Every structure is written in C-alpha cells, then in structure tokens.
A = this chain, B = another copy of it.
Amino acid sequence: MFEFTVLSTEGRARVGLLRTPHGMIDTPVFAPVGTQASVKAVTPDQLTAVGTSLVLANTYHLYLRPGFEIVRDQGGLHNFMNWSSPILTDSGGFQVFSLSAKNEIDDDGVTFRSHIDGSTHRFTPEFTVDVQNNLGSDIIMAFDQCPEPYNRETNERAMARTHDWVVRCKSAHTRKDQALFGIVQGGVFPDLRSESARFIADLDLPGNAIGGLSVGESKEELRSITKLVADILPSGKPRYLMGVGSPADLVSAVSSGVDMFDCVLPTRLARNAAAMTRSKQMNMKQAIFANDNRPVDIECCCYCCTNFSRAYIRHLCKAKEILGATLLTIHNLHMLHDMMKDMRNAIVAGEFGSWKRAFEDNIDL
C-alpha cells in the first residue's frame, strides 16, 4: 500500500512519488497543518484548489478534543474532516512538551495536563500508536521526546528514550494501511544526530523524519544538521523534516535531499495579516497598501491574487474580517505548493542548481 519511488535526482535533491492508500504524493511536498482536523480558515475544497496533497493533523489535539473515539466512530479522520487525500498525524510527542499545562516524563511515557481544562492524561508509545491507529491517518509518527536543542545531557537522554520508544511503537503498530515513520533526535550535536540517524535507519521503517529542529537553533545549525542526517537516512525512503516551512529553509532542505515538510507558518502568518512570497514577507496592514490596486503577489495565480487587490486585503486585515485570513491562507499555501512544484520541475529538468541560485539572489532581506 506504500511505495516510495525516486524518479529523478540532481545532486542530493530528488523528485519522488509516494503512494498511499489515499492517493499519490509528488515529493518534495509541503503539508499544511490542520491541528484540530481543520487547516485553519479554509475549506477542504479551497485546500484542493491551492494544490494541497497532504495534510498534517495533531494527535495531541484530537485526543483531547473531540477524542479519538469520536473520530473513529465518525469513520476516521478522512471522513470526519472530509479530506479524501493523504493525512499524516504526528504522535503528540512535540505537543505534550510544548503545549501541555504541566508534564512529567519517565522512561515509560509522559503524564501531562491538558492545556484546555487541566485534566491529567498519560501518553506512552503504545498508546499514541493506538490513538493514531484509531484516527486512521495514512502516515503515523513514532512517539518521541523533543527537548531544547542545546543541552547535551538532555539530548542524550531524549535520544535514548526516542530510540527505545520507536521500537515499542513499531511493535504496537497494527494497521498495514498506515505507514509508521521514525524520528531522529540529537539536538545540535553532530555525533548524537549521526548515531540517531543510523539507529532510525536500521529499523527499516517506511519513512524517516528529522525532529527536534526548527525549535530555536540557528539557521546554520538547521542546515548542517539536516544535511548530516539526510545523508545517513536511506535514499530509498522518504525523508521528512518536521516543522519547516519558510521558503528559504524549504529550498535549502530540498537541496540536502529532504522530501517532506510541514509547518504552521503559512497559515499562522495569514491569520496575522502576513503574505508570503518567494522573496519576502509582506505585512498587509501597512499603510503603503491602502490604495494599491495590485494583487498581493503580482506573479501569483491563486484565487486571492487573481480576484482581490492589496487595498482590499489591507482593509480586511485592518477591519479584522475573517475573509482576510482566508484569502491570505489561500495565497500563502498556493505560493508554497507552487514553489515546491517549481523545484520538482527544476530537478527533473536538471536545472535545480541554477533555479536555487536565482531563488537565493532574489531573496529580499
């Protein structure tokens, strides 16, 4: 049911095709985040129109609300949110540390308090796999510990736990129509990252993720660690860099051989009145746009840019109209999907090197 085929390469960068029970995914791919079973401010129809082929949803959030039993009873996540294309769920590992009101970790799992109502819950590797088996996503993630990246001792312990837990996840996973991905940890420490990448690679899971990045480290560290880990992870399996979504970071990671990405950036920026282009971010509340009849991005062919002016988008953002968030979400996602497609085409054409140089020359800092 799962198959990953590398169709074309240029240097480390590659174009692939990932087959899932809910359809094919062209890689490199960017997945918008639908934290609570909704990519914020847009409908599934609008998501399809902007070119989304994979959506990420959060196990931590769905477990707390509405509860995985309800999602299961409603026919699984695809039915529940009316998204018939592929879905990936994370394990909740990241959220129990970053979002919960309080958490206590031990070698068996994590006890935490809900950020919604303070109630106490416990996640173990086996339980988060069970929850994800019930949610029914196409790709599920192993339960990991994602610490701050700079303390060596913390990262050694977190890596050891993450390795222990991925083995338990693999044993607990029951559904053949879901692919379990492991997650590499190790903070900013090259030797830990190498060790972790080798360990995860050896498990021969259908895909491998790089976790614990985009959490406060420098751009240099993000890039060097990504490259180091991607080189160790097997080339025949998809490589997934978690939590990355800025245009420059995506281009850099694709050039290091990464195939999959997710990030809240385009949707969160949209709700904060920021438009993304390949070269810069635009704060649409700026007075300079008040009477500007050009589209947000003059090179974009999305619904927002072909139908509305900067003047109107600025007005919507200033007036706190929901439509402002919706239209900027449509634009930001379309822009990222379009950029991923351009990268795939460039790699197939053997022109990714020059494409990347032109992209970097065009960045407006």
Contacts and interface: CB of A to CB of B under 8 A. Distances in A.
Interface of A: 36-38, 40-45, 61, 65-66, 70, 73-75, 80-82, 290-291, 293, 303, 307-309, 311-312, 314-316, 318-319, 321-323, 325-327
A312 B74 contact: yes
A323 B66 CA distance: 15
A317 to B, nearest CB: 11
A80 B312 contact: yes
Contact of A321 (B38, B307, B314): B38
Contact of A41 (B75, B311, B322): B322
B36 A80 contact: no
Given A38-B321, A43-B303, A73-B311, 11 more contacts: A36-B319, A37-B312, A38-B316, A38-B322, A41-B326, A61-B319, A65-B315, A66-B318, A74-B291, A74-B311, A80-B315
Contacts of A43: 303, 323, 326-327
Nearest to A312: B80
A326 B80 CA distance: 17
A356 B20 CA distance: 52
Contacts of A293: 73-75
Contact of A322 (B45, B82, B322): B322
A135 to B, nearest CB: 13
A322 B293 CA distance: 27
A312 B36 contact: no
Contact of A315 (B37, B75, B309): B37
Contacts of A326: 41, 43, 322, 326
Nearest to A326: B43
Nearest to A318: B65
Given A322-B41, A323-B40, A309 B65 contact: no
A326 B38 CA distance: 12
A315 B73 contact: no
23 contacts: A36-B316, A36-B319, A36-B321, A38-B321, A38-B323, A41-B322, A41-B323, A41-B326, A43-B303, A43-B326, A66-B315, A70-B315, A73-B291, A73-B311, A74-B291, A74-B309, A74-B311, A74-B312, A80-B311, A80-B312, A82-B307, A82-B308, A326-B326
Contacts of A311: 66, 70, 73-74, 80
Contacts of A41: 322-323, 326
Given A66-B290, A73-B291, A325 B323 contact: no
Q: Which 3 residue pairs are nearest across A and B when measured between Cβ atoms?
A: A66-B315, A41-B322, A38-B323
A81 B312 contact: yes
Given A37-B312, A323-B40, A326-B322, A45 B303 contact: yes
A303 B45 CA distance: 10
B322 A65 contact: no
A294 to B, nearest CB: 11
A65 B37 CA distance: 35
Nearest to A330: B43
A55 to B, nearest CB: 13
Nearest to A45: B303
A312 B40 contact: no
Contacts of A303: 43, 45
B307 A44 contact: yes
Contacts of A37: 312, 315
Nearest to A320: B36
